[in-house]
Copies of this chain bind each other. A is one copy, B any other.
Amino acid sequence: MSASVALARVLVAGGTHGNEWVGAWLARKWERDPSSLQRPSFESVALLANPPAVERGVRYLDQDLNRSFDDPTPGLGSAWEVLRARAILDAFGPEGRTPADVVLDMHTTTANMGLCLIVTNREPFNLQMAAWVRRREPRLRVYAWIDDTLPKSALSTIVPRGATLEVGPTANNVVRGDLLLATERVIGLCLDFVEAFNRGDLATRQPEALDVFVHQRSFDYPRDRAGEVTGFIHPRLQDADFELLNPGDPIFQLLNGETMVYEGESPVYPVFVNEAAYYEKSIAFSVALRETVWV
């Protein structure tokens, strides 16, 4: 990493999902008064990403905004979130009027993910930011969801430098104070990192090891022939995000009382266990492998 690239603008977004209120409340607070986001070497801009969804307390109006950033030229009649994504790109995208160099997007989850930074590429800046923040906030976990075949449809992927912060567990449509304060703290540390990067403070750093949970695949709920869900996350897997899941461990309990077990060949780390928004995506939980990387 070199300090030859000075980063001029950081976008801090929340309310990308309108029922995730911790990020939405912070984004609205910082839109009104962004002073606590400022650092000497760059400008921070706060953005309430999907205001009408926040207003109505729903995840989205027409489609998931955080899967809408890959449509370059929306047509007449496009979904609201496609138009909104285009407007955000026109402002903060690489070709935008006020392009962002870094994008931080604040989310919550109903899963017991704790404090989790999600990166979607192996950009050294992102992993170094994660390691730097983690040294100051040891509860932080790093989840890498890297699939170069996927379109860059998430808000944090509109530029190469960026990350999504997930905090949980929490219900939607509430603000948990502990998670709001933790989000505020992690975002502040990310901004401190950008400042250190710009100042060249990191040029002399030694490589350090970072544990990264690398996404492997997702599991759907058990279903009957008509597609209806017939079971729920087994109580032993519920809340067990980032705890080793071994072959033979229970993963689902059917409504008829039967238990289904994990039939993989080797242990994995479950993540996003019982996230409310993923029922419609047919994801009961995902699994990751732990990889130690030098950053």
Q: CB within 8 Å of B: which residues of A?
A: 25, 29, 110, 169-178, 180-181, 232-235, 238, 253, 255, 274-277, 279
Contact = CB atoms under 8 A, between A and B. Distances in A.
A177 B235 contact: yes
A172 B276 contact: yes
B255 A174 contact: no
A177 B255 contact: no
Nearest to A252: B177
Given A29-B255, A255-B25, A110 B174 contact: yes
Interface of A is mostly: loop
A276 B235 contact: no
A180 B238 CA distance: 12
16 contacts: A25-B232, A25-B255, A110-B173, A110-B174, A170-B171, A172-B172, A174-B279, A175-B232, A176-B238, A177-B233, A177-B235, A177-B253, A178-B235, A178-B238, A180-B232, A181-B235
A181 B175 CA distance: 28
A184 B284 CA distance: 22
A170 B279 CA distance: 15
A253 B176 CA distance: 11
A274 B238 contact: no
A143 to B, nearest CB: 20
Given A172-B171, A172-B172, A177 B110 contact: no
Given A25-B255, A29-B255, A169-B171, A274 B176 contact: yes
Contacts of A25: 232, 255
A55 to B, nearest CB: 11
A33 to B, nearest CB: 9
A280 B29 CA distance: 20
Contact of A177 (B171, B173, B238): B238
A169 B239 CA distance: 13
A25 B180 CA distance: 32
A174 B238 CA distance: 11
